[in-house]
Amino acid sequence: MTAQTIILIFTLVIYLIIIFVFNKARIKYAGGKVGTVINLILVTVSLLFIADYVIIFDRIVSPDILDIVRALFRTAALAFLAYGGAKVADS
């Protein structure tokens, strides 16, 4: 196993733990500001997960395109979190 594979497996486990825990919390704290924040976190983590695992298409797509897609998903995740956080703070 290469170092990159080990890192990807480790981050996969972390992403799955985060998604599992916050999904359970979303069921428990549905509605209100807490539910909205939990949804913001879930969407952000999902977008970051996609950004990290876009690398599986490295044999099909050129590395430059993968870097662009990765940057777009990371930017979308942070923008979503910032915009959603501002909306929650205003309400």
pLDDT tens, residue by residue, 23-55: 999 888 888 888 889 999 999 999 999 999 998
pLDDT for 61-70, tens place per residue?
Answer: 999 999 999 9
Domain extent for 35: 3-90
Amino acid identity, position 16:
L
Task: Give Cα 51 distance to the centre of its chain.
Answer: 8
CA dihedral angle for residue 31, residue 33, residue 39, residue 44, rounded to 10 degrees: 180
Instruction: Kindly state the percentage of the chain with pLDDT values over 70.
Output: 100
Instruction: Give mean pLDDT, residues 11-19.
Output: 93
Instruction: Give mean pLDDT, residues 3-17.
Output: 91
Which has the closest alpha carbon to 26: 49, 43, 6, 48?
Answer: 43
Structural domains of the chain, count: 1
pTM: 0.86
